[in-house]
Structure 1
Amino acid sequence: MAQPIAPLLRTDAVSLSYAGRDIFAGIDLALHAGEIVSIIGPSGAGKSSLLRVLAGLQAGSSGHVRMGDAALTGPHPDIAVAFQDACLLPWLSVEHNAAFGLDFRRQPATTRKERHERVARMLDAVGLSHAKHLFPAQISGGMAQRVALARCMARQPRVLLLDEPFGALDEITRADMQTLLRDIVRIHRPATLLITHDLDEALLLSDRIILLGAHAGEPARIAHTWHVTLPHPREAQVEAMGALRVDLVRRLRELVQTGGPRAVTSPSSIHPNEGNHVPGTNVPA
């Protein structure tokens, strides 16, 4: 019997408290190579705080985070992070901004030739080879996010953590960036975690969707998980996508209106040709 593939990044009962407030508790999560996992939930549910703990930017209050077989105790050279703000340095060109991540502490040393080749490959992958000599003030918001993604991927990360990276973009640019992300994950196979408020984005991209939420006054927990096995591209999977979206909205509305899920529920799955019913739910046909 084949052995299960070990996750690249995982948490065991991770909790976080800050200034006397419990942010989230008991989070068990595993990220595998080549998959995209989206986390959705109400504002203030602790999604960004969880990402910071996974990135090693903030220590959890209890539990464990492991990168491979080793405990994660801080920023890791195999973990890259991108936020909604592209955070480009205005005095550096597009090319040098994309290369900036290679200078991070603990990042493996690279030769000038290897550095140049990595950056050139990623700028080509995100469609910005022609703009490498431009500066941030000379490019659009969508181009800036492409630079941020190239900066992450030039490091050749095994884990990619994204916090609302496309949230400030217009609809057409956001759709282009979603396609680009899907292609990058397919080719380079980082384990990818995406924080998003856009349910359609989560549906289009994710292998798993995790709902994070809490009762009022209690720490957030994983309230529900959906496993999505629909083939890509998913834009044509209207019936199955619509059924899953109904369930996402229903459970998210329950969190907002009641202050928390009635109970932590078993995972749901949606597969090709399953029509408009999501197994494990009571969504009407």
Structure 2
Amino acid sequence: FFHSSFLGMFYSWNALWSSAVLSTTLVFVCSARGYYFLGYTMCALEAAMGAVAGLVTSWSLAMLSLERYLVICKPFGAFKFGSSHAAGAVVFTWFMGVGCASPPFFGWSRYIPEGLGCACGPDWYTNDQELGTTSYMYFLLITCFCMPLSIIIFSYSQLLGALRAVAAQQAESASTQKAEKEVSRMIIVMVGSFVTCYAPYALTGLWFANSPEVNKDYRLVTIPAFFSKSSCVYNPLIYAFMNKQVRTNAPTEMRDMNSDTERLAPVSIRGPEAVMQPSKPRRGTRRLLCRVTAADLVPL
């Protein structure tokens, strides 16, 4: 239980706070005024914070899915994922965020007001050859969207395959079949929300980079910004409030986060989150190296 709640919250709080604190506060204030009134320096800083928040969020969700894959499917054998690994993964997400958002301060692309002029972001739509805005757009497309999405799809597809293999061995168990449907639904929701939040930026950036100037409507730049910032709403709902374990145990875990983890007793989970132990494998069936639970697959 400690692993599925504490380590999961490492990633969820990392993603939620990076989005809420860095990418929404100044945007809200400027939107209330109707225009960006804080000057170029604050525009660049606000855009950089928004870019860091988006990268940290996307990579946090990717690291969470990878951690689930490593813990449950055990591709490296008896590998124990501890709090130090989780802390290292969080540091990695911030390294990626800060590292990928810094180039505009050193001459590769730039930060400018975007859309309706109430927020700032990377210049990914003017095709300024001197500043290399198009190449930087492709760089962000790969690091902020394609790479995290590939990790998420791979990890959850492996988890879903493991779950279905266990469910096939326990076809007579109603709780196992119900858990399979629940986890499948949650995986679809998690991948779908990621694509919903970040695909509009990716698609709009590709369109602006490859369209003639006469066909561009710069008001459309506002639309992907709204989608990406909506992750502040989607992520808490999906990774926290939709998970029964977190709703029940998060207050206690937050109080005991710095206490000795050995004092935590195992929690028995019933119903759709019942532990699905692989039964004795049939002839010709690969034996799974993991216990798969609905709570394991969606631990946040």
Bigger helix share: 2
Higher CA-based Rg: 2
Q: TM-score range by the shorter chain?
A: under 0.3
Normalized against structure 1, the TM-score is what? 0.24
Q: Which has the higher contact order (CA 8 A, sep 6+)?
A: 2
